[in-house]
Amino acid sequence: MKFILNYFSSVKLAITLLIIITLASILGTLVPQHRTEAEYAMHYGQLAPLLIKLEVTDLYHSWWYMGLLFLFSLNTAVCTLTRFGPKWRKAFQPRVESEPSKIRTLKISGEMKLKAPLVQAAEKVAATLKSRHFRTRQATHEGRVSILAQKKIAGLFGSDIVHVGLLIILAGGIISGFSGMRRMLTIHEGRTLEVPEAGISLRLDKFQTDYYPSGAVKDWKSTLTVIEGEQEILTQTIEVNHPLSYQGFMFYQRNYGYDWQNPRFEILAQKKDDPDFGDQLNLGLGEKTLLSDGQTEVEAINFVPDFIIGEDGRVASRSNQPNNPAVLIEGRQQGERLFAAWVFSKFPDFGQMHSEKEHNFSFQFQNIESTEYSGIEMAKDPGVNFIWAGCILLTLGLFVAFFWPPSEIRVALEQAQERIQVTAGGIATKNKYAFQTEFDTILEDLRRDK
Amino acid sequence: MNESTLFAIAFFTYIGAAFFYFFYLFGKRENLAKMGYTLSILGLVIHTAALILRTIESGHAPFTNMYESLSFLAWSAILAYVIIEGKFKLRKAGPYFMLIVIGLMALASSPLMPANATPLVPALQSYWLWLHVSVTLLGEAFFAVAFVTSIMYLIADSREKRGTAKEGAISSEKLDSVSYRCVAIGFPLFTLGGLVFGMVWAYKAWGTYWSWDPKEVWSLITWFVFALYLHSRVVMGWKGRRSAIIAILGFLAALFTYFGVNYLLAGLHSYA
């Protein structure tokens, strides 16, 4: 037990672990993570099964990386705990008496002689130190007055605060890993979706995409109403960077999409030889309508949002986005097919007409109406509060550690014939130059008004 | 007066500062170094005006593409240098440091870097953009100063050991101490801006505070290297050469996090 404690209280172990974890982390950025076995086989050949077996392909969640982080946490905890007691005593229950011979061995030290009687001399030294914001303690022992002056002593604990913060962050990470959950929700405008995990229903009142004048997307906004039972609890508009938080569940605007189940098309039918002819058609998929010439029937028989002709020569949709919407319309006269044509909303002049007979029609695909849905990610992460608490401590501790440098001055005063022999020495682990200057100034002050 | 004119004037002012610093290196006249320092501050002021103008013109934080963020990094680097030089009188570091700044400015103005201000994609529209990027880059700027003083340390140390140190050269001990002071300022800033603010923003925008994205991992690696620097130094007393080498590696890791990840590794941080 003692051996284990000693082992884990070693800073050498911490440094070794830091180096190993750093190298492992680098490895994880060099080998692409979470790819398919086939991709690994292609890239790494013979090495692929080994990489997969050692979980290098999901390195940051692998048992051995977790294990390293665990050892590192244990090391941090033991180091912090074993050093805390002595540090606490040093700060709050310090030994005040010091021997002049020991003071002289400190890196920063100085000596002088004062004329006043011992008690007054000690008072003067203490007052000078206090005027420089040192906290002083005095002790008299065998005719020698010892003064211990400390400043910014909280700075000693900066690193401990950092370590505690770090441990809380790692604990938060474990909690997130075990009890966090995420799920994608797809809600159509005007509809309500049950969310059993949270015991609520969500209604999407409105979905909106904002654009910049250039046409680039500025933001997506979903107005959501939280319904518990029959009751509407709250309505809030979420957008990217501004999620909805409800009883530990977060709802993020993630993406959006179009529902191409029931699109409607606005199409203008014209005749090349008759400028007065212009029929405004409004069709759904599979719907027919008779043109105003009274004999031509037009039907929308197919639609793709992102038109492409695949390698097999067939029409397909490249994506679900309306990048190149096209509708296939067919014209008939007296039950006989007259033409079939793909009409493009973005390329009005481009049409693929397959005409069986001579005709004069041309079509313009003016608009499509479809319902959009909003992609909302639901997440619950009980670890997150630990993370924030840990982050606050981590940051606070770092600023304390680096911007609140503690220092200590020890002074011994002894009667030496007519005068008082003053021996002073100081310790500062950080900010040594500034401390040296301060120490010299204090001694200078004491010498000046002897 | 528009932003690109001001940027160009700042750039030339920095080049001027570098010239004076280099003349000082050979001429050893105190006034030359003072002139270099004055020009650095003047450049910083003009550069600040350029960044403010950019913010007004584009309507968003001046670090959303590579040109902007390089320009901001150069600005942070000058700011860090002006502070450190003001405090420690490290004039001989001036010429080398100005070279880095000029490199950053040259890279920013190279045609490879898209300079047009483009509207922000939804994920970047957040005040966390200001906090996350500015504090991180400021922290990295102090790492850059530590990088220069660490390299100077290695040179000074080997000269001192061989007894070829020139008169008036900065002592290796001082360089070591200044490097430490820079890391001591840079590390809390980098932790706060890069890791803490990054996690908060990621949670707000992506719904998860940590996703092991390559940029996240590399900033963690940078953090580990500087944690190693501090622990090996404060607790184990590794000063001097080993310390300097770790600080150099740390800055290179920061540089890779900033640059390399974008071009060599794909991930969520695909904005800049």
The answer to whether the CB of A416 falls within 8 A of the CB of B224 is: no
User: Minimum mean pLDDT among A42-46, A60-64, B153-157: which range?
Assistant: A42-46
Rg (CA), chain A: 39
- In chain A, count H helices and then E strands: 10, 21
Cβ distance B228 to A379 less than 8 Å, yes or no, reads: no
- pLDDT band at A347, cuts 50/70/90? confident
What is the C-alpha to C-alpha distance for residues A339 and A252, in angstroms, rounded to an integer?
Answer: 48
Which residue of chain B has the CA closest to A377? B207
- Asked if pLDDT for residue B210 goes beyond 50, the answer is yes
Q: What is the pLDDT of residue A335?
A: 81
Measured CB to CB, residues of chain B less than 8 Å from chain A are: 118-119, 121-123, 125-126, 128, 177, 184-185, 187-188, 191-192, 195-196, 199-200, 203-210, 212, 214, 217-218, 220-221, 224-225, 227-228, 231-232, 234-236, 261, 265
Quick one: pLDDT band at residue A449, thresholds 50, 70, 90? low
With an 8 Å Cβ cutoff, is A394 touching chain B? Answer: yes
Query: Do the Cβ atoms of B210 and A252 come within 8 Å?
Result: no
- The whole-number pLDDT of residue B121 equals 82
B272 pLDDT above the threshold of 50: no
Contacts of B235 in chain A (CB under 8 A): 11
3-state secondary structure of A289: strand
What's the mean pLDDT in A416-421? 86
Report A:289-308 residues touching B (Cβ under 8 A).
none
Name the residue of chain A whose CA is nearest to B188's CA: A398
Contact B224 A29 (CB under 8 A): no
CB A27 within 8 A of CB A56: yes
Total-model pTM = 0.84
For chain A, what are the domain ranges?
Answer: 2-89, 97-152+407-449, 181-259+373-380, 264-369
HSE (side-chain half, CA atoms, 13 Å) at A366: 12
pLDDT at A80 (0 to 100): 93
In chain B, what residues touch A429 (CB-CB under 8 Å)? 234
Does domain A97-152+407-449 fall under CATH 3.40.630.30? My reply is no
- Contact present, A317 and A304 (Cβ < 8 Å): yes
**Looking at residue B170, what DSSP letter applies?**
P
d(C-alpha A151, C-alpha B235), whole Å: 21
Q: Which residues contact A245 (CB under 8 A, 6 or more apart)?
A: A251
Tell me if residue A33 falls in helix, strand or coil: coil
Q: Cβ separation of A22 and B224 shorter than 8 Å?
A: yes
Nearest to B217 among A28, A254, A402 (CB): A28
Q: Which residues in chain A have their CB less than 8 angstroms from residue B209's CB?
A: 176, 384, 387
| CB spacing of A240 vs B228 below 8 angstroms | no
pLDDT of residue A355: 65
Q: Judge: A19–B228 Cβ closer than 8 Å, yes or no.
A: yes
Q: Are B214 and A381 inside 8 Å of each other by CB?
A: no
Q: Is A240's CB within 8 Å of B122's CB? A: yes
Confidence band, pLDDT 50/70/90 cuts, at residue A447: confident
**Which residues on chain B are in Cβ contact (under 8 Å) with A430?**
184
Q: How much of chain A exceeds pLDDT 90, in percent?
A: 44
Confidence of residue B143 (pLDDT cuts 50, 70, 90): very high
Provide mean pLDDT across the span B215-238: 91
pLDDT(B109) > 90:
no
**What's the confidence (pLDDT) of residue B60?**
87
Residue B267 confidence (pLDDT) above 80: no
Interchain pair A29, B205: CB under 8 A: no
- Answer whether A77's CB lies under 8 Å from A386's CB: no
Mean pLDDT of A309-338: 84
Asked if A433 reaches chain B (Cβ–Cβ under 8 Å), the answer is: yes
For A394-418, write each residue's pLDDT tens digit: 999 999 999 999 999 999 999 888 8
A173 touches chain B (CB under 8 A): yes
pLDDT at A81: 93
> CB B217 to CB A25 under 8 A?
yes
Residues of chain A contacting B175 with CB distance shorter than 8 Å:
none
Which amino acid does the sequence have at A229? G
Q: What contacts B253, CB < 8 A, 6 or more positions away?
A: B218, B221, B222, B225
Residue A208, both tokens = 């909106």
Considering CB atoms only, which of A26, A252, A395 is closest to B221?
Answer: A26
CB-CB contact of A75 with A8 (8 Å): yes
Chain A residues with beta carbon closer than 8 angstroms to that of B228:
15, 18-19, 22
The secondary structure of residue B155, as a DSSP letter, is H
**Are the beta carbons of A19 and B199 separated by less than 8 Å?**
no
Mean pLDDT along residues B34-60: 93
Between CA B180 and CA B250 the distance in angstroms is: 12
In whole angstroms, how far apart are CA B133 and each of A97, A140, B109, B128, B137?
A: 51, 56, 20, 8, 6
Residue A224: Cβ-neighbour burial (10 angstroms; 0-12, 13-18, 19+): buried
On whether ipTM exceeds 0.85, the answer is yes
pLDDT digits (tens, 9 = 90+) for A289-312: 888 888 889 999 889 888 888 778
Neighbours of A311 (CB within 10 A): 7
Q: Do A241 and B123 touch (CB under 8 A)?
A: yes
How distant, in Å, are the alpha carbons of A331, B133, B205 from that of B124?
A: 49, 11, 9
Q: Report how many Cβ contacts below 8 Å link chain A to chain B.
A: 104
Of B138 and B109, the structure prediction assigns the larger pLDDT to B138
* Residue in B231, B163, B192, B149 with CA at minimum distance from that of residue A13: B231
Q: Are strands A288-290 and A296-304 parallel, antiparallel or unpaired?
A: antiparallel
